[in-house]
Amino acid sequence: MKKYNVAIVGTGAVGNKLLEVLEERNFPVGNLKLLATSRSAGKQVEFKGEIYTIEETTPNSFSGVDIALFAGGSASKQFARDAVKAGAVVIDNSSTFRMDPDVPLVVPEVNPEDVTWHKGIIANPNCSTIQMVVALKPLYDAAGIKRVVVATYQAVSGAGAEAIKELERQSRQVLNNENVSPEVFPYQIAFNLLPHLDVFLDNDYTKEEMKMVNETKKILGDDSVAVTATTVRVPVFNGHSEAVNVELKKELSVSEAKELLRKAPGIVVVDDSEKLAYPMPVDADGRDEVFVGRIRKDDTVPYGLNMWVVADNLRKGAATNAVQIAELVIKNL
């Protein structure tokens, strides 16, 4: 099997998960280069039994690299174009290029064909968007979608390793009757909910909410789909959940919807109210599938459905989706 030289830019929660997923999926890695800021340079990381030393990212870091996986953050703006100039295909987890019309925004279960028209950069969608569009795609293909209303319940791991530590620390502080000290989030996250992810925009929606609106349209290739979102940070360590209301363009029964979802790639249906079976973050943790349940009719509109969608945001919402994109890329190289 042909092997490919891979660079991972970023060594935080997503960067570490990228290494884990590459190994689990037996991606054909030739040479591996780990890149990060000067603060992390010199640290050592194990991959497939070998020890690798993290290097500081520079514009010259990408010579000989076939695929550069950017874990997110400001590095994409600084170095993604340098990687492309050096001959690498960039798969980017940040929001930098997602809405660029020259950059495909790809979820392999939804629009794998878009990989073929990249010009050196392929964008990985927002974590909350990824799991939602995986669940929407079979319904969209069968009945069309007029409108989507989504409320998210997003784990702290989506905000990085320091956010995970903050929830751990604050939980101890609350349980020990100590003063709570917010650092990563603007307010206490332990035993609390924050209806605020990313910055507020002029329309009073947050950037996270508008990511879901705009990215969904681009991935589905349909600007007519109306999407509105409320995104909420919850005191869960890992695994995003979403309450998704879908208004279809034509009739689709609950049983038909369940069957379509069961047959769709990357989806596990967990839906049995009599047995109290429904998706939960603890079940999705460490898994690559999108879990869908609580599928039921919404009688307030002619063709409405409600469903509950859960996924591991560090895996399917970031690292796994990026590696799946890389797998599509090497099929076309």
Residues taking part in catalysis: 127, 240
Classify 177 as helix, strand or coil: coil
Q: In this structure, what token pair is assigned to residue 277? A: 């079976």
Total count of residues recorded for the chain: 333
Pairing of strands 29-36, 55-56: parallel
Classify 277 as helix, strand or coil: strand
- β partners of residue 196: none
Instruction: With CA atoms as reference, report the closest residue to 245 among 205, 299, 298.
Output: 298
DSSP states of 237-257: SS-EEEEEEEEESS---HHHH
321: enclosing H helix or E strand: helix 320-332
Q: In this structure, what token pair is assigned to residue 106? A: 């790809």
- β partners of residue 46: 51
- β partners of residue 34: 8
Give dist(CA 293, CA 132) in Å, integer: 13
For 27, 66, 79, 116, 185, the CA distances from 329, given in Å and listed in that order, are: 12, 10, 20, 8, 37
Give dist(CA 78, CA 259) in Å, integer: 45
Give dist(CA 14, CA 163) in Å, integer: 13
- β partners of residue 226: 147
The CA-based dihedral angle spanning residues 36, 40, 42, 45, taken in that order and rounded to the nearest 10 degrees: -80
